[in-house]
Chains A and B, each alone.
Chain A
Amino acid sequence: MKNERAEINRNLAQMLKGGVIMDVTTPEQAKIAEKAGACAVMALERIPADIRAAGGVSRMSDPKMIKGIQEAVSIPVMAKCRIGHFAEAQILQAIEIDYIDESEVLSPADDKYHINKNDFAVPFVCGAKDLGEALRRISEGASMIRTKGEPGTGDVVQAVRHMRMMQSEIRKITSMAEDELFQKAKDLQVDYDLVKYVHENGKLPVVNFAAGGVATPADAALMMQLGAEGVFVGSGIFKSGNPEKRAAAIVQAVTNYTDAKLIAELSEDLGEAMVGINEQEISLLMAERGK
């Protein structure tokens, strides 16, 4: 029964593939995102760029605010809880959230342990910056993975780094001899079965999205060509000049990610992109949270 639930939760992520999941803070933004073609929304009180600007401890959003967004749209609604904060996750499950993001964007509640996600009926997505992190989150019960990137910066460099790292590690494992996989499992601190799955299939056993710093249709196309199966866009949309148009353009760029001519058209007159901060200019690296 437990395995059946885990499978069904992985299946929902499969339905999100080729789509864009957008951060929203109000029911109005959620409606704009849905209309623009988001395949799901992430409900949160403050988008990462504002969390970064405000500083302090960042927690799960007010359940009332999340419910308002659940009522406003018919697409899946996700919400974030702090790393290791299983009580916040229990609350999100109680309000029937479609997906929980155990997220490094919020302040971690546990500096050692992640949530045992196998205990939950609702699915979890977790961030990872390399294959080891991804597989460890999957053992804990994550049914979807995303790159950590560097949230709230509008700078795609870290998402690229994390996706390239994962893909390159996957390629290495694919070409390993079977007896080398045992040592690899030890190095990555994960079950042998997970490493064997990667060896045989050349991919993670769950869907893998790009996240953190995606701000333009070109960024989205870049991440898809690097192997992402879909894209999260956080601050990039509602911190830009024309959210509706930018959101719709990113959605189309994800579907047609190899058609440069079309993406050129989509990139015209989008108004101002979010200003963005380079990784050298920030003091807090959220990607370093939760390994």
Chain B
Amino acid sequence: MTIAVLALQGAFIEHEQMLEKLGVSCFEIRQKIDLEKPFDGLIIPGGESKVIGKLLKERDIFNILQKKIKSGLPVFGTCAGLILLAKSIDGDPTTHLATMDIVVKRNAYGRQLGSFFTKSKFGKTEVPMTFIRAPYIIKVGDNVEVLSVVDDKIVAARQNNMLAVAFHPELNSDPTIHKYFIDMIG
């Protein structure tokens, strides 16, 4: 199994380190040419969603990735990655890959002073959750499964081949969520 990590900007190395620890091989996607190598899943990391969204289009990888995700490529987005997958962003007409039936709110907890750490349930397992200027999900479509709720806000969800979380599992040593994604790939 090989997982590609979108490496345009942000905390992509942390995901690669987590995959390495789990014994899964991975490579970075920065340009169109990187998409020629075969891969079984894609991770979209945390970072600045506007920057990653812009670079996706400038480097001509937007259409290819969108098509792959639409045709079933397993994808895992964290924080900015969740925003990139959302079909709708609250108060903002811009969307990016827009493949997942969720409405998200950017910077939903305010500025850096609102960033926080907590432990909460992902499915049935308690996991550490680091929220950094994080978004949350306001609304999900009928075919979306809610996986985590923190303070009444949806912070993790899955729709078929797409997994999105508002926090950063790559920043803690707990591999639960990465393992969940690996199981999704099968």
Contact = CB atoms under 8 A, between A and B. Distances in A.
B48 A99 contact: no
A34 interface: yes
Contacts of A248: 58
Interface stretch (A150-158, A159-167, A237-245, A252-260): A252-260
Interface stretch (B108-116, B141-149, B175-183): B108-116
B168 A11 contact: yes
A98 B50 contact: no
Nearest to A73: B50
Contacts of A198: none
A230 B71 CA distance: 34
B161 to A, nearest CB: 25
Interface magnitude class on chain B: 35 or more
Most buried by B among A37, A77, A254, A256: A37
Interface string A248-291: 10011011100100100000000000000000000000000000
B47 A19 contact: yes
A39 B48 contact: yes
A254 B107 CA distance: 25
A18 interface: yes
A187 interface: no
A128 B133 CA distance: 27
Tell me the interface secondary structure of chain B in the complex: loop
Contact of A122 (B48, B79, B113): B113
B115 A8 contact: yes
B51 A122 contact: no
Interface stretch (B5-13, B35-43, B62-70, B96-104): B5-13
A265 B9 CA distance: 20
Contact of A37 (B54, B112, B113, B171): B54
Contacts of A16: 10, 47-48
A76 B58 contact: no
A123 interface: yes
Contact of A75 (B30, B48, B113): B48
21 contacts: A4-B117, A8-B116, A11-B115, A11-B168, A12-B133, A14-B171, A15-B48, A15-B79, A15-B133, A17-B10, A19-B9, A37-B54, A39-B51, A75-B48, A76-B111, A96-B112, A98-B133, A251-B55, A252-B59, A256-B59, A259-B31
Interface of B: 7-14, 30-31, 46-48, 50-51, 54-55, 58-59, 79-80, 106-107, 110-113, 115-117, 130, 132-133, 168, 171
Pairs of residues from A and B, 5 with the lowest C-beta to C-beta distance, nearest first: A98-B112, A39-B48, A18-B9, A14-B11, A96-B111
